[in-house]
Amino acid sequence: MSRSETQWQNPPPLQSREYVSSEIYNNEMIFAEEIEKIHRRTWKFVCHESEIPLAGDYRTIDHTGVPLMVIRGEDGEIRTFINACSHRGALVARELSGNAKKLVCFFHLWAYDTKGNCVEMTRPEGFAECGLSKADTGLRRVRTETRLGLVFINLDDKAMSLSDYLGDALEWFEEPMGTVPLEVFHYNRGVQNANWKQWHETNMELYHEWGHVVNRTTSVAAKGYHERLWRIYPNGHGSLEPLRVQYKNYKGWENRDDQLLPGLTPGEFRVLDIFPNTTIIIRATTIRIDTSTPIAPGKTLVEHRGLGVLGEPENVRADRQKNHNQFWGPFGRNLSEDVIFVEAVNRGIADGGMPYGLFCRHENMMSQDDEIMRAYYEVWESIWDVKPVIP
């Protein structure tokens, strides 16, 4: 039965944790608070260590509008700095990646070493009168920690350690990602007309796999798909018990029995969602890592990485790349559809559209249970000193 205006606007007859207001996706004030209270206070995956293998290698990124530079020092340690010269704030590194033993600002040629120390101030005698010296003008360091080759940063110097933050969440990933050196072989990014949480929801909410023909045929139809249990960890992370995916169920594809990553059985699928916006997915032979950067309530930059084994033979890499590209990348059979899904949701929940999203599926913690999202939003709510006003 269709609903009247009032019926449509009334909260659904559900427990409060079984739905969310669409305001959390399209309200400007909530978005601004999320940036301050979540993104600038929690650990954020920024790159894989293989992207900066040599001393002086760096990557520049934008984290919630803050320009950052992740660099490997002469001592091998990976550090992160705000990518802004201590003089006038110009970007110090202007390339997306590169190698530098010394970081020289192109504006007035101040220079920094890979530990963030200011090592040169052009014509320093001009600063003698005010007493400013190199000791006062180092770069702002940002907390940086690495687990399983994944480099995380945190803008909050007082935040808990990465190890405490992740807890046991990486338990299914220790062997495939921690026993052989890995390498990023695929990187693509795209700006989506959607809220950052909607992308993360799509990586958590497996009920939508019915919408993808590749997932419907290779996964939902596979033995044991529905019986897998979610594991929910403290701080909003969640992972799902492994599944053997039947890739041959999609016309023209073969099963993934060879070149498996360590610890995996043929066709094995694993997924981990890390709060607030990073996901790791393993599909037997290859790994995908997603992470997002919120731009506006309805605009999000999403980065996708594909990983294989460092130094593997060309033919093995080609097969792994093929496996990756079947599902993922801009021409994969799955990823593009997810973008179309989340953009459609974002259109539908616009002001005056659908006022609530339902996360009310209960399947005893099995794969299409919404508990992963209910747990995620409990952590999301706990971040606020004053909970956002939700109608």
Partner 1 sequence: MPVQLTNDDIRSLVYQTCQALDDENFDKYLSLCAPDYQYQITAYSPEIRKEQTWLKHDRNEMVGLFKMLPQHVRMPGRFFRQACVGSIGDLTKNTEAVHITSSLVVAYTEPEGLSRLFAVGRYEDKIAANGKSPVLLSRTVRLDTRDLSPGAHVPL
Binding site for partner 1 (CB under 8 A): 51, 59, 95-97, 184-192, 211-213, 250-252, 302, 305, 318, 321-322, 325, 329-333, 335-337, 339-341, 343
Nearest-approach distance from CB 255 to partner 1, in angstroms: 16
**How crowded is the C-beta side of 97, counted as CA atoms within 13 Å?**
13
Instruction: Kindly tell me which of 186 and 228 has the beta carbon lying closer to partner 1.
Output: 186
Instruction: Kindly tell me which of 14 and 96 has the beta carbon lying closer to partner 1.
Output: 96
C-alpha distances (whole Å) from 11 to each of 32, 73, 351, 355, 390 are 25, 54, 15, 8, 10
Nearest-approach distance from CB 342 to partner 1, in angstroms: 9
Nearest-approach distance from CB 65 to partner 1, in angstroms: 18
What the block records as the tokens of 359 is 């996360």
Q: Taking every pair of C-alpha atoms in the chain, what is the biggest distance, in angstroms?
A: 80
Instruction: Kindly tell me which of 168 and 254 has the beta carbon lying closer to partner 1.
Output: 254
Nearest-approach distance from CB 1 to partner 1, in angstroms: 28
Nearest-approach distance from CB 343 to partner 1, in angstroms: 7
- How many other CB atoms are found less than 10 A from the CB of residue 205? 20
Query: CA-CA distance, 285 to 269, in Å (whole number)?
Result: 9
Instruction: Kindly tell me which of 307 and 366 has the beta carbon lying closer to partner 1.
Output: 307
Query: CA-CA distance, 333 to 114, in Å (whole number)?
Result: 41
Query: CA-CA distance, 33 to 23, in Å (whole number)?
Result: 13
Nearest-approach distance from CB 96 to partner 1, in angstroms: 5
Peptide bond preceding 276 in cis form (omega within 30 of 0): yes
Q: Which helix (H) or strand (E) element contains residue 204?
A: helix 196-204
Instruction: Kindly tell me which of 252 and 313 has the beta carbon lying closer to partner 1.
Output: 252
CB distance 256 to 165 below 8 Å: no
DSSP, collapsed to helix, strand or coil, labels residue 234 as: helix
Query: CA-CA distance, 251 to 131, in Å (whole number)?
Result: 72
Nearest-approach distance from CB 66 to partner 1, in angstroms: 18
Residue 357 pairs in a beta bridge with 20
CB distance 323 to 286 below 8 Å: yes
Nearest-approach distance from CB 39 to partner 1, in angstroms: 20
Instruction: Kindly tell me which of 121 and 182 has the beta carbon lying closer to partner 1.
Output: 182
Residue 229 pairs in a beta bridge with 366
Please report, as a single letter, which amino acid is at residue 231: R
Query: CA-CA distance, 291 to 219, in Å (whole number)?
Result: 23
DSSP, collapsed to helix, strand or coil, labels residue 93 as: coil
Instruction: Kindly tell me which of 3 and 251 has the beta carbon lying closer to partner 1.
Output: 251
Instruction: Kindly tell me which of 59 and 283 has the beta carbon lying closer to partner 1.
Output: 59
- Pick from 279, 47, 50: nearest CA to 153: 47
Nearest-approach distance from CB 286 to partner 1, in angstroms: 13
Rounded to the nearest 5 degrees, what angle is found at the Cα of 42, between the Cα atoms of 22 and 62?
85
Nearest-approach distance from CB 331 to partner 1, in angstroms: 4
Instruction: Kindly tell me which of 322 and 362 has the beta carbon lying closer to partner 1.
Output: 322
Instruction: Kindly tell me which of 241 and 337 has the beta carbon lying closer to partner 1.
Output: 337
